Amino acid sequence: MKRNVMVGQSGGPTAAINASLAGIYITAKECGAKTVYGMLNGIQGLLEGRYIDLSEHVKDDLDAELLKRTPASFLGSCRYKLPAAEGNEEVYEKVFATLKELDIEVFIYIGGNDSMDTINKLSKYGQSVGSEIRFIGCPKTVDNDLALTDHTPGYGSAAKYIAISMKELIRDSFTIDFKQGMCTIVEIMGRDAGWLTGAAALSKDEDCDGPDLIYLPEVPFDIESFREKVKVLLAKKVSVVVAVSEGIHTADGTYVCELGNSVDFVDAFGHKQLSGTASYLAGYIANEFGCKTRAIEFSTLQRAGSHIASLTDTNEGYAAGRAAILAADEGKTGLMVVFERLSKHPYVCGTGLRDVDKIANDERVVPREWINEDGDYVTDEFLSYAKPLIRGELVPIMVNGLPKHLNVPDGLRERK
Amino acid sequence: MKRNVMVGQSGGPTAAINASLAGIYITAKECGAKTVYGMLNGIQGLLEGRYIDLSEHVKDDLDAELLKRTPASFLGSCRYKLPAAEGNEEVYEKVFATLKELDIEVFIYIGGNDSMDTINKLSKYGQSVGSEIRFIGCPKTVDNDLALTDHTPGYGSAAKYIAISMKELIRDSFTIDFKQGMCTIVEIMGRDAGWLTGAAALSKDEDCDGPDLIYLPEVPFDIESFREKVKVLLAKKVSVVVAVSEGIHTADGTYVCELGNSVDFVDAFGHKQLSGTASYLAGYIANEFGCKTRAIEFSTLQRAGSHIASLTDTNEGYAAGRAAILAADEGKTGLMVVFERLSKHPYVCGTGLRDVDKIANDERVVPREWINEDGDYVTDEFLSYAKPLIRGELVPIMVNGLPKHLNVPDGLRERK
């Protein structure tokens, strides 16, 4: 690598996305890159000419360690969907003109499905106009729903946050023995894939019962069956805890949160913003049984909880960034870094590369056989899969009782 | 101390309440107590004859360390209000008969305002019937609203959880530059006292803006003024973050959450269960400005987050338990352990004792002069007060990526 690198972050943040950025920056420098630019707010910011020189922010090894521990996307993010090249040539011309102007040799985009679509379109357009720029995708998503990879950086840390928080809230939930019992509904991220919700089961151990029921979006939700299960549990237990994915829906496709009329936002990709599932079900159970209920949403905390990030996850995030640069340095393009589980026991994971074409806009959900027959818990296979991903802690650098983060680049917090 | 000790936990849990229990157990043993009994579910469980021998659960030093790190009340809790002795002699006779049967010399109750009322009533009744049992209160509450003490064990850890989570969610909140901006409303515990909500300001540092606005229940909430402030902020910033106490109310005393009709529960003490303040205000702002909004409730996680407990807080919780036993060992009764700040810089804190009579049913709120004139932020004095309380971490004992807790005693999880 002799010239420059452009890197961007896209979609929802994770606790490992900046570990990938650190891996990209450090490896690019090792490979001889002159300048590593970071686009602010992804491809959308690049189109507006907004980018920074990363060396002005990551000045030494301590900064690199802080970057790994900084939650959310250090460079900012976007949900901009690159239009098809045909008929929108001016957008592509603008991107490539900027990249040429900055003498870019390698373009890395850290993101999920939609971001891989961007890499796919840019690399294809690049080939069509004879560009030599290499486009590589670096995976990231708390949802763990990218195709052709064993798992995705960001998932392990969010799963760890969920498992720890579940342990703590379950313990809290039975301290008081309410007359009619108590039912807590915990809403967890995951529109179509239940990987994160399933992680609630990781809390189960000799010191914790784990949640009593777990509902993933992969199986249609039946409210009658749910009510009967809760009824039986309430008769036995002081506290019943149920983990539900934000995306659970009935057999006819109606989201449970829509039953409570809480859908109020559709994003740039046409995805419904789901929220209110826990609150709807808590109200339902309170009405049915007169018991105390609590609705808890982990909300953005589950993806931003870098103070308890998984060391396995952040190390793998770093490795994914490193692999992306090494692939580009070898002249490869149009690929995404993937993870391959080389051994289950002991857990060993390596990186590979796959055509981004085969990954973009595809979605990997929890296999039906990893969910029990009743559709209200995950199986031991799911647990064996997820357990190694939450191991170890990237210990925060604590200053005055708070985790220290790398300072925010100018231009991210102000309205444009 | 030659005979036995009875200890109970009452009210809402905190991350430091079991550190106090550890301090009580270990110090009682050092002072010569034969058996340290723990009532299950507080005085309510004791009335039902439910208690355990703590030595069967805390068998060695590792167990004691696990106990300190276990979230929620290890012994379970209750919200049982002891009736006045007059006319309810049978309740008191039952308690004292059980204590006599178990050869109890010292009775310690770990709790907040309502629990100190229990200590007050029991010690007065005890004196009236010539009992020699000593009754000592050990303070505990995340709300930090106990009178006559500088602060209360449990507050520091909850404040630390809030400050860390605020840092993380604020960082997450400006990653995407939404067209009309975004406003996040974070709802924090505190019905009448804004100590916890004020702790949101601890997140402010060179790497974090902190919340933009903070509303405590000590100052009437004016929705017009709130709207204008948010409007100005939305014009400048990609993301506006507002911390609100669950107990904020308008000048006429209407809780903001009542504006959204979310009050659905009144507890045994007649306290309204408040929830829905963030959700109401987020809806309000979305309607007014058409921006994206998020409502986040830290819910029980803020009091159960022992994985990031403050070392200062848990050490002090332990010290409070120790001081309670030492006071009882000296023959004192009808007192509560308090904290005295012996020095501000450097922070030095010692324990003292105050008449429980003067503490019970009283409430200490944030002084008006520690809130700014506009009533939408805390002052530097508040920050100087709170900062030392979140310092240091009680590092969790991690096993397979999760914090290990002491196993739950039998009889807490099952319906009675």
Contact flag B171-A412 (C-beta cutoff 8 Å): no
Residue type present at position A344: K
Q: What is the pLDDT of residue A154?
A: 98
pTM (two decimals): 0.96
Q: How far is B2 from chain A (nearest CA, A)?
A: 31
Distance from C-alpha of A127 to C-alpha of A334, rounded to nearest angstrom:
10
- Active-site amino acid positions of B: 143
Which H helix or E strand runs over B100?
A: helix B89-101
Rounded Cα distance, B281 and B173, in Å: 17
Q: Which residue of A has its CA nearest to B79?
A: A176
Q: Which of A143, A212, A313, A329 is catalytic?
A: A143
HSE toward the beta carbon, residue B313, CA cutoff 13 A: 36
Is A174 in Cβ contact with B306 (below 8 Å)?
Answer: no
Query: With contact defined as beta carbons under 8 Å apart, do A250 and A223 qualify?
Result: yes
CB-CB under 8 Å, A402 with B175: no
Judge: B173–A310 Cβ closer than 8 Å, yes or no: no
According to DSSP, the residues that pair with A5 across neighbouring strands are A36, A106
Q: Looking at A200-209, A254-263, A360-369, B281-290, which range is the least confident one?
A: A254-263
End-to-end CA distance of chain A: 34
Which residues are bridge partners to B186 per DSSP?
B243, B296
Distances (CA, A) of A255 to A220, A222, A228, A276, A365: 10, 11, 20, 10, 17
Tokens of A240: 């019943």
Among candidates A76, A165, A205 on the partner chain, residue whose Cβ is nearest the Cβ of B175: A76
Return the beta strands (E) in B168-291 as ranges: 182-188, 213-215, 239-245
pLDDT in tens, A217-232: 999 999 999 999 999 9
| Residue scoring higher pLDDT (B120 or A258) | B120
Task: Report whether B226 contacts B243 (CB < 8 A).
Answer: no
Sign of CA dihedral A146, A147, A148, A151: positive
DSSP 8-state secondary structure symbol assigned to residue A414: B
Please, what is the average pLDDT of chain A? 95
Give DSSP secondary structure letters for B15-68. SSHHHHHHHHHHHHHHTT-S-EEEETTHHHHHHTT-EEEGGGT--SHHHHHHHH
- pLDDT category at A386 given cuts 50, 70, 90 is very high
In a mutational test of the B interface, the residue from A40, A168, A313 whose CB has the highest number of chain B CBs within 10 Å is: A168
pLDDT in tens, B65-82: 999 999 999 999 999 989
B235 CB neighbours in chain A (<8 A) are: 415
Determine the Cα–Cα distance for residues A406 and B211; give it in Å rounded to an integer.
18
Higher pLDDT, B153 or A113: B153
Chain A nearest-CA distance from B305, in A, is 6
pLDDT tens-digit map of B136-158: 999 999 999 999 999 999 999 99
Percent of chain A beyond pLDDT 90? Answer: 92
Read off φ and ψ for residue A294, nearest 5 degrees.
Answer: -135, 135
Is B405 within 8 Å of A167 when comparing Cβ atoms? yes
Cα nearest neighbour of B408 on chain A: A207
Report chain B residues whose CB lies below 8 A from the CB of A237.
Answer: 413-415
C-alpha to C-alpha distance for B144 and B191, rounded to whole angstroms:
11
Mean local confidence (pLDDT), B193-221: 98
Q: How far is residue A284's CA from residue A406's CA, in Å, rounded to a whole number?
A: 44
Q: What is the DSSP string of A227-270?
A: HHHHHHHHHHBSEEEEEEETT-B-TTS-BHHHHTT----B-TTS
Phi, psi of A162 (to 5 degrees): -65, -45
pLDDT bracket for residue A263 (50, 70, 90): very low
Closest CA relative to residue B113, chosen from B357, B365, B360: B360
Q: Check CB contact under 8 Å for A13 and B175.
A: yes
DSSP 3-state assignment of A43? helix
What percent of chain A clears pLDDT 70, i.e. is strictly above it? 96
**B283 to chain A, closest Cα gap in Å:** 10
Best B172, B209, B274, B404 member to test A by mutation, with max A CBs in 10 Å, is B172
Enumerate the residues of chain A whose CB falls inside 8 A of the CB of residue B416. 177
| Range in A48-52, A248-252, A358-362, B71-75 the model is least confident about | A358-362
Q: How far apart are alpha carbons A402 and B258 in whole angstroms?
A: 34
| Partner residue facing B412 (CB), from A238, A264, A406 | A238
Helix/strand/coil percent split, chain B, to 5: 40, 20, 40
Distance, CA of B133 to CA of B136 (rounded, Å): 10
Residue B330, min C-alpha distance to chain A (Å): 32
Q: Which helix (H) or strand (E) holds B307?
A: none
Interior CA angle at B173 toward B161 and B308, to 5°?
15
* C-alpha–C-alpha distance, residues A264 and B279, integer Å: 13
Q: In this predicted structure, what is the pLDDT of residue B276?
A: 85
Beta-carbon separation of B168 and A206 below 8 A: no
Task: Give the chain B residue whose CA is nearest to the CA of A411.
Answer: B238
Q: Residue A265: is its pLDDT beyond 50?
A: no
Sign, CA dihedral B316-B321-B324-B325, equals: negative
Lowest mean pLDDT, pick from A71-75, B296-300, B360-364: B360-364
Give per-residue pLDDT as tens, A244-257.
999 999 999 999 98
> Which residues in B lie closer than 8 A to residue A115 (C-beta atoms)?
none
Q: Which one of B402, B407, B412 makes the best mutation probe of the A interface by having the most chain A beta carbons within 10 Å?
A: B402
Which residues from B are below 8 Å from A167, CB to CB? 71, 402-403, 405
Of B202, B305, B414, the CB nearest to A238: B414
Smallest Cα–Cα separation from A161: which of B34, B133, B78, B308? B308
- CA pair distance B303, B165, nearest whole angstrom: 13
Question: How far does the CA of residue A341 sit from the closest CA of chain B (Å)?
Answer: 19
In this prediction, residues B186-212 reach a mean pLDDT of 97
What pLDDT, on a 0 to 100 scale, did the predictor assign at position B257? 87
Find, in chain A, the residue whose alpha carbon is nearest to that of B43. Answer: A176
Mean pLDDT for the stretch of residues A266-293? 78
Q: Do A401 and B390 touch (CB under 8 A)?
A: yes
Interface test with B, best of A177, A183, A413 (most B CBs within 10 A): A177
**Residue in B172, B209, B303 nearest the CB of A72:** B172
Pairs of residues, one from chain A and one from chain B, whose beta carbons lie less than 8 Å apart:
211
Scanning every residue of chain B, which has its alpha carbon at the shortest distance from the alpha carbon of A80?
B176
Whether omega before B220 lies within 30 degrees of 0, making that bond cis, reads no
Output phi, psi for A70, to 5 deg.
-85, 125
Sequence-ordered list of residues with C-beta below 8 angstroms from that of B361, at least 6 positions apart, any chain: B113, B114, B116, B117
- Is residue A143 flagged as an active site residue? yes
Q: List pLDDT tens digits, range A288-328.
A: 999 999 999 999 999 999 999 999 999 999 999 999 999 99
User: Do the Cβ atoms of B265 and A292 come within 8 Å?
Assistant: yes
pLDDT tens for B240-288 read 999 999 999 999 999 998 886 544 444 445 555 566 899 999 999 999 9
Average pLDDT (B169-198) is 96
Chain B CA closest to residue A304: B168
Q: What pLDDT is recorded for position B259?
A: 84
In the structure encoding, which two tokens stand for residue B196, read together? 């916890």
Paired strand residues for B176? A77
B202 contact residues in A (CB cutoff 8 A): 401-402
Q: What is residue B52's predicted lDDT score, i.e. its pLDDT?
A: 98
**Residue written as token pair 């050990």:** B138
Q: What is the pLDDT of residue A116?
A: 94
From chain B, the residues in CB contact with A72 under 8 A are 168, 171-172, 175
Rounded to whole angstroms, the Cα distance separating A1 from A100 reads 16
Strand, helix or coil for residue B388: helix
